[in-house]
Amino acid sequence: MRGSILGNLLNKYLMRATMPLIKSRKGLVVLTLHNITEDHHEWFKNLLELIRREYSFAEPDDLEKWFMQNNLERGTKVLLSFDDGFYSNIVITEKYLREFGVKAMYFITEKFIGLDSEASFSFAKNNFFPNSDISTNNKNSFSSMSWNDVKRLIELGHVIGGHSSTHQRLSTLTDANKIVDETISSSDRISDLIGQQVTHYAFPFGKHNSIDSKILDSLIYRYKYIYSNIRGNLNDSVNSQFIYRQNIVPGDPNWLIKSIIDGKLDWRYRNIRKYCNRKIEQLTK
């Protein structure tokens, strides 16, 4: 145990020491966040202050502008996105995003929305964290948004996207009807409930092993934008439809967040992005 802790500390030290040696990348960066519980509210406010001070905020509408400008705009912009649909999202939106004047994207898991506290915890444990032993000590921190909360986000000018029906790893699905329900029908039902078309979709889990051709083929004719959770920025997208994002975790220190936004970890995912880009090119020829 002690060796593991020392090893992690050494890895973090080496990582922090090498970050200044890697050249920063410019572009529009979409950050992925999830559940921002109350004990991380100060961290989240500091994140917003860091972005405002060091970069600039992008809004969902900036995606189309960026691609139309052929990625020629200089500097780095940051667009915030939140996955799953935790109640904490509406709390930090009302408390902080309104103050900073920031518009974000919220990818919601249809069957998670509107559950009570006990059901929310069970859903999160089984569907969001299937391989993790999450604590039962604070079940309320895993509460979901209500549909009224989702509609409130729209009133505040934010964008709602689809994130499947039940947050399955889509690449493992074999039943055609189940694939359609998770990728298409779920967003159609969300569209009916919120009164506007859902044109953005984020892969559950979002890593390369969650993405395959049969799933992309199901998504590509339904959505304007499809989001992974593979590190990269908009300049790495093979076309304007498939978008890479940068995941950050509550508690991440500023030096790591800046390194992520500056693309200093992107080189590790270069081959994975090439793999995904080839799939997209084959399907869009």
Assign 2 a pLDDT band (cuts: 50, 70, 90).
very low
Q: Residue 74 has what pLDDT? A: 66
Q: Residue 54 has what pLDDT? A: 96
Between residues 193 and 12, which one has the greater pLDDT?
A: 193
**pLDDT above 70 for 73:** no
| CA–CA distance, 173 with 10 (Å, rounded to integer) | 39
**pLDDT above 60 for 263:** yes
Most confident of 1-10, 43-52, 270-279: 43-52
| CA–CA distance, 114 with 59 (Å, rounded to integer) | 27
pLDDT in tens, 232-247: 999 898 888 899 999 9
pTM equals 0.93
Q: Residue 160 has what pLDDT? A: 98
**pLDDT above 70 for 10:** no
Q: Residue 4 has what pLDDT? A: 54
Q: Residue 3 has what pLDDT? A: 46
| CA–CA distance, 265 with 188 (Å, rounded to integer) | 36
SS3 67: helix
The amino acid at residue 181 is D
Tokens, residue 42:
């100060």
Tokens, residue 245:
């994002």
Most confident of 57-66, 74-83, 145-154: 145-154
Assign 284 a pLDDT band (cuts: 50, 70, 90).
confident
Ordered by where they begin, the domains of the chain are 2-284 (3.20.20.370)
Q: Residue 131 has what pLDDT? A: 83
**Portion of the chain with pLDDT greater than 90, in percent:** 71
Provide the H-helix boundaries in the chain.
Answer: 2-18, 41-54, 62-68, 87-92, 98-100, 117-123, 147-155, 176-180, 186-194, 213-219, 254-261, 270-284
**Portion of the chain with pLDDT greater than 70, in percent:** 93
**pLDDT above 70 for 249:** yes
Q: Residue 64 has what pLDDT? A: 84
Q: How far apart are the first and last CA of the chain?
A: 52
pLDDT in tens, 84-141: 999 999 999 999 999 999 999 999 999 999 999 999 999 999 999 998 877 777 788 9
| CA–CA distance, 34 with 80 (Å, rounded to integer) | 11
C-beta neighbour count of 207 within 10 angstroms: 16
Assign 8 a pLDDT band (cuts: 50, 70, 90).
low
**Quick one: which of 22, 36, 12 has its CA closest to 248?**
36
Q: Residue 194 has what pLDDT? A: 96
| CA–CA distance, 20 with 14 (Å, rounded to integer) | 11
Instruction: Establish how many alpha carbons lie within 13 A of residue 39's alpha carbon, considering only the half-sphere containing its beta carbon.
Output: 4
Residue 187 near residue 164 (C-beta atoms within 8 A): no
